[in-house]
Structure 1
Amino acid sequence: MSTLSWLKSSFSDAGGNNCMEVASDGSRIAIRESSEPNAILATDRTALRAFVRGVKDGRFDPLLDRR
């Protein structure tokens, strides 16, 4: 996965070191934090789609409310 073309959100600031980046090698999706470019999480499209739907549906909100 070293020759991936990384994409980041248009909502990222000009500094570029506070956002998530994604890339695809065809069968896998790679995700990384721009400030930690060597720490890459890889998953497949089905799992990423389920995660994004869960975030949009608020399924993970209780985890954010813990203090």
Structure 2
Amino acid sequence: MLVNKVRELRARFNLTQGELANRVGVTRQTIVALEKGSYTPSLLLAMNIAEEFEMPIEEIFSKEEK
């Protein structure tokens, strides 16, 4: 399972879900699902999010250890 720090980073950067969605080219509902862990992003979306936060993908997304 993929886990992420999107909610934490979005709060740190003072962005709403809608603002982040607009910046990375998806709907607000996609960001909601991503933050809940019910949506696995495409590589392109993960790259766009990493670019938005100016961080490597690996610092935002990781595999959950079983």
* TM-score tier (shorter): under 0.3
Identify the structure with bigger relative contact order (alpha carbons < 8 Å, sequence gap 6+).
Answer: 2
- Output the TM-score relative to the length of structure 2: 0.23
Q: Please state which structure has a larger fraction of its residues in strand.
A: 1
- Give 1 or 2 for the bigger CA radius of gyration: 1
- Output the TM-score relative to the length of structure 1: 0.23
